[in-house]
Amino acid sequence: MSTHTITMVLSLATACLSAIQPLNPNRLPNTPGLHNVLRITDKLLSGSVPEGDTGFQALQKLGVKTIITVDGAKPEVERAKKFGMRYVHLPIGYDGVPAEQGWRLAKAVRDLPGLIYIHCHHGQHRSPAAAVVIKLCLDEKCTIATALELMKLAGADPRYVGLYAAPKELRRPTSADLDKITSDFPETAPTVGIVQQMVDIDERCDNLKLIQAAGWSVPKNHLDLDPAHEALLLSEHFIELSRATEIKKKPQAFLDMLHQAEKDTRQLESTLRLEAGPTRLVGANQFFKASQASCTRCHAQFRDVPQK
């Protein structure tokens, strides 16, 4: 056999092995009912919300004993129990991982038994951010660079600056610090209701009005307001609101206006990421006006008049 032939055979063998082996040892393949599953530590996995019995069966096969959700939605506690797993609900937002909640999450992973699976909705943004905070809290050898790489591997969008700031701003707790935290971990935390969601939406809209008044740039009196990021967080508020149990009972017209407001706000965010100029200015005004118009129509039809 010629040298050329041997080289070709070896190349084909290498290609075949690459095709059947996972590209990254952190990512778990073949997990039906789950998405974006990463192994963060020997005790901690991160991923998406389990989808029906299929998702919970996949977790059971992986050996998971405890599920921690950082999502705002109410977890399926009874379904988890059906498959021999416990739920813990410690939600966070898209704006970051509060220090106290980060330590509570670390305490839960440190003290609760068995393999633990932490999830948000899609398993790309909040759960990997929470997972790397946990890793940093419990593993003194873990570096911030490693934590950020794990977030990128999960697909965490760098536009969520608060989530990416969490590993950098973390003050690592001592074992004594974690010992002081309560071990009473709730199966279901109080979820954010429609009223609070509306308050949060109004606050983001007020921030965007300040940004608009400053020519769609950072207001001089509010240097903490990043235009595109405020639009991104507003769109996430609309998405979270659409997932609320009470909202699903609303008329289709309500849902249509909510989805349209979210769509226009996403367009606003994309426009605000353009370079400064007439296109950015005109587009931002257009999409913000459209988003606000959906809210105004919805309020006029469903909030400001008695409902039968």
231 & 265 share domain = yes
**What is the structure's pLDDT at 29?**
81
Same domain, 92 and 152: yes
Q: Is residue 186 in some structural domain?
A: no
**Contact of 268 with 287, CB cutoff 8 Å:** yes
Q: Is residue 113 part of a domain?
A: yes
Would you say residue 114 lies in a domain? yes
Q: Could you tell me if 158 and 228 lie in one domain? A: no
Instruction: Give the pLDDT confidence score for residue 296 in this predicted structure.
Output: 86
Q: State which of 179, 207, 233 marks the end of a domain.
A: 179
Containing structural domain, residue 166: 3-179
Q: Are 286 and 269 in contact (CB under 8 A)?
A: no
Does some domain include residue 239? yes
Q: Which of 124, 152, 179 is the last residue of a domain?
A: 179
- Whether residues 155 and 273 fall in one domain: no
CATH classification of the domain holding 132: 3.90.190.10
Same domain as 166, residue 199: no
At 8 the pLDDT is 44
Gap between the Cα atoms of 115 and 131, Å rounded: 13
Of 251, 249, 261, 256, give the one whose Cα is nearest residue 291: 261
Element spanning 187, H or E = none
Pair (134, 212) in one structural domain: no
Q: Are 220 and 123 part of one and the same domain?
A: no
Do residue 128 and residue 199 come from a single domain?
no
* Domains held by the chain: number: 2
Do the domain assignments include residue 189?
A: no
153, 295: one domain? no
Give the model's pLDDT for residue 118.
Answer: 98
Residue 163 shares a structural domain with residue 206:
no
Q: Mean pLDDT by 10-residue block, N- to C-terminus, for the chain (308 residues)? A: 43 39 69 94 96 96 96 91 96 90 97 96 94 97 96 92 94 97 91 72 91 95 92 90 79 89 94 93 95 86 57
Dig out the tokens for 37 from the structure: 């599953």
Q: Give the whole-angstrom CA distance, residue 195 versus residue 192.
A: 8
Same domain flag for 136 and 212? no
Residue 10: the pLDDT is: 36
Q: Coil, strand, or helix at residue 118?
A: strand
Query: Does residue 308 sit within a domain?
Result: no
Instruction: Judge whether 94 lies within some domain.
Output: yes
Q: Cα torsion for 145, 147, 148, 152, to the nearest 10°?
A: 130
55 and 134 inside one domain:
yes
* pLDDT in the model for residue 174: 96
Q: Of 151, 179, 207, which residue is a domain's last?
A: 179
- What pLDDT shows up at residue 16? 41
Q: What is the pLDDT of residue 103?
A: 98
Is 163 within a domain? yes
